[in-house]
Amino acid sequence: MKHLLSTQELDVDQALTLLDTAEEFQAVANRQVPKLPTLRGVTMVNLFFEDSTRTRLSFEAAAQRLSADIMTFQVHGSSVSKGESLKDTAQTLEAMGADVIVIRHPSSGAPATLASSGWVHSSIINAGDGAHEHPTQALLDAMTLRQRFHSEPRGALLTGLSVAIVGDIVHSRVARSNVFLLTTLGAKVTLVGPPALLPQGVDDWPVHSTYDLDDAIDSAPDAVMMLRVQRERMGDGSLISHKDYVRNYSLTRARADRLPQDSIVMHPGPMNRGVEIASHVADSSRSVILDQVRNGVSVRMAALYELRGGQA
């Protein structure tokens, strides 16, 4: 694999290879000195055109554990604010030694453009492009599901598991990447949200969809993944009233209590406590939110290794 741009393009074997490699690397994280020499001499650049805390740090931690060198590009205060193009920025970074460019960009398709343009030779990892995809997030979610529902996660699919993804689906690259990856691995996915926040054409996706969170809860899903309302992608933000949203789509304690005993609650972060998820639920024993964060580092190690491991 040269690039990791989307989960839509991953077949079962590629997905399982990434997830199994991530499991191997997780063992490294538990060592006293959590470092391998695997990517010594490889330089990873974080090129983030949108704010991020966990994804950027997680890629940094992953690169560090594999002994890669890291450069971080701050868009604010850089020549991008002077009008420098993506092409010139990427070529400049490569001239400074980049081998892998991890890019987050507000425009859907920016990472694919970079990968196919011929502007640079680096491997490209999509760390979130507009409302399109966020493949490493979906991989860490799949890893978390495998660990919870399989005592030996390596090699396992997600066959038969049911996952409800709830909230602002239309603006969510996390939802899109999960729909493709989880269904490729055999899970059943239900999308839940108000009409204005479900994408048009959702009927063509390999999923069920509903406006009714209570129905979705009563169908006893194995996992409920709550998403943030992305007001920053809504223009004036008036698609839905806050009060109605919280009443109909918040995972309250009462709703969580109706889930089967073993069901888990997920959230990619950043959370808005008291909006899409009650604080009590986020901190409860069903919550695997910090496992997701932990698995994010392992999955990103696996992605870096798959793209550059043979060439270090």
**Angle CA(270)–CA(276)–CA(277) in degrees, nearest 5?**
85
**Residue 174 engages ligand NCD in binding (rule: CB under 6 A):** yes
What is the rounded end-to-end Cα distance, in angstroms, of the chain? Answer: 14
> Closest residue (Cβ) to ligand NCD?
228
**Residue 134 engages ligand NCD in binding (rule: CB under 6 A):** yes
Q: Which CB, 148 or 231, lies closer to ligand NCD?
A: 231
Residue 141 neighbours by CB under 8 Å, 6+ apart: 174, 178, 181, 182, 225, 266, 268, 292
**Residue 111 engages ligand NCD in binding (rule: CB under 6 A):** no
Q: Which CB, 135 or 221, lies closer to ligand NCD?
A: 135
Report the nearest approach of ligand NCD to the CB of residue 228 (Å): 4
- Which residues in the 267-286 window bind ligand NCD by CB under 6 A? 268-269
**Residue 294 engages ligand NCD in binding (rule: CB under 6 A):** no
Report the nearest approach of ligand NCD to the CB of residue 239 (Å): 15
Q: Which CB, 153 or 268, lies closer to ligand NCD?
A: 268
| 3-class secondary structure, 240 | coil
Choosing from 20, 54, 183, 210, the residue that interacts with ligand NCD (CB under 6 A) is 54
Choosing from 55, 122, 123, 147, the residue that interacts with ligand NCD (CB under 6 A) is 55
Residue 30 neighbours by CB under 8 Å, 6+ apart: none
Give the Cα separation of 311 and 199 in Å (integer).
40
Report the nearest approach of ligand NCD to the CB of residue 155 (Å): 27
Give the Cα separation of 153 and 143 in Å (integer).
8
**Residue 3 engages ligand NCD in binding (rule: CB under 6 A):** no
3-state secondary structure 126-143: EEEECCCECHHHHHHHHH
Two structure tokens written together for 175:
């939802």
Q: Which CB, 271 or 312, lies closer to ligand NCD?
A: 271
Give the Cα separation of 76 and 74 in Å (integer).
5
Residues that bind ligand NCD (CB under 6 A): 54-55, 128, 134, 137, 173-174, 228, 230, 268-269
